[in-house]
Amino acid sequence: MIQIAVFASGRGTNLQAIIDAMKTGNIDGEIKIVISDNPEAYALERAKNNQIATKVFHYKQYKSKREYELDIIQFLKELKIDLIVLAGYMRILSPTFIREYPYRIMNIHPALLPSFPGLNAQRQALEYGVKISGCTVHFVDEGTDTGPIILQEAVKVDQSDNEETLSNRILQFEHQILPRAIQLFASGKIEVYKNKVYFKE
């Protein structure tokens, strides 16, 4: 069973989807820790409600981003974490951090990458006027939302959509593909070759 650290800064509905998938036996892994930069994150409550350990790393208590990240890395190493899942984590990880966990950090993004990377992806999609958007689970590399794509799901954009309605519709699919991607990793089915993900039979 793989040991997972989930990083979340906010309400944690994706965390909840992972917890639920574990309860129904759909992920062969354990969430060892939920890490947040935000002590008010509702994700922390969700973890506690499910007897999962939590830890807050207060960014402002560190002299630099480097020290902040080194502290987190040391903590993760002690826990022997196999996979890090960014589920609404609002900080960019530095190359130093990412190099510690090559192809072992996953992120969920609310658009069909490589379209609309970065913040407010659903708003970007609406402003552009695309007719289809969706969500993407990808490995994190040193760019912003540029790493190898693991799973995607398409979602139709209605002309009556606003940011909230589109975000909510996409979110339902995020909750499906994130646990599936984690299980693909947990069962050793993912291979990365030349920046592309392949699934072993």
**Residue 104: how many CB atoms within 10 A of its CB?**
16
Can you tell me which of 108, 113, 140, 186 binds ligand GRF, judged by CB under 6 A?
A: 108
Region binding ligand GRF by CB under 6 A among candidate stretches 51-59, 74-82, 103-111, 141-149: 103-111
Smallest distance from ligand GRF to CB 140, Å: 12
**Pairing, β 132-139 against β 105-109:** antiparallel
Q: Which helix (H) or strand (E) holds 190?
A: strand 190-193
Q: Does 117 bind ligand GRF (CB under 6 A)?
A: no
**Helical H runs in 24-162?**
42-49, 65-78, 95-100, 121-128
175 given a catalytic annotation: no
Task: Please report how many Cα atoms fall inside a 13 Å half-sphere around the Cα of residue 102, on the Cβ side.
Answer: 5
Q: Does 161 bind ligand GRF (CB under 6 A)?
A: no
Within residues 52-71, the interface with ligand GRF by CB under 6 A covers: none
Cα 177 to Cα 111: distance, rounded to the nearest angstrom: 13
Both tokens assigned to 162: 């606003």
Region binding ligand GRF by CB under 6 A among candidate stretches 46-54, 65-73, 75-83, 105-113: 105-113
Smallest distance from ligand GRF to CB 197, Å: 18
Within residues 7-46, the interface with ligand GRF by CB under 6 A covers: 8, 10-14
Can you tell me which of 6, 37, 54, 88 binds ligand GRF, judged by CB under 6 A?
A: 88
> CB under 8 Å, gap of 24 or more: what pairs does 68-73 form?
69/93, 69/94, 69/96, 69/97, 70/96, 72/35, 72/97, 73/97, 73/100
Q: Does 166 bind ligand GRF (CB under 6 A)?
A: no
Q: Does 87 bind ligand GRF (CB under 6 A)?
A: yes
Residues in touch with ligand GRF (CB under 6 A): 8, 10-14, 87-88, 108-110, 171, 174
Residues acting as catalytic residues: 109
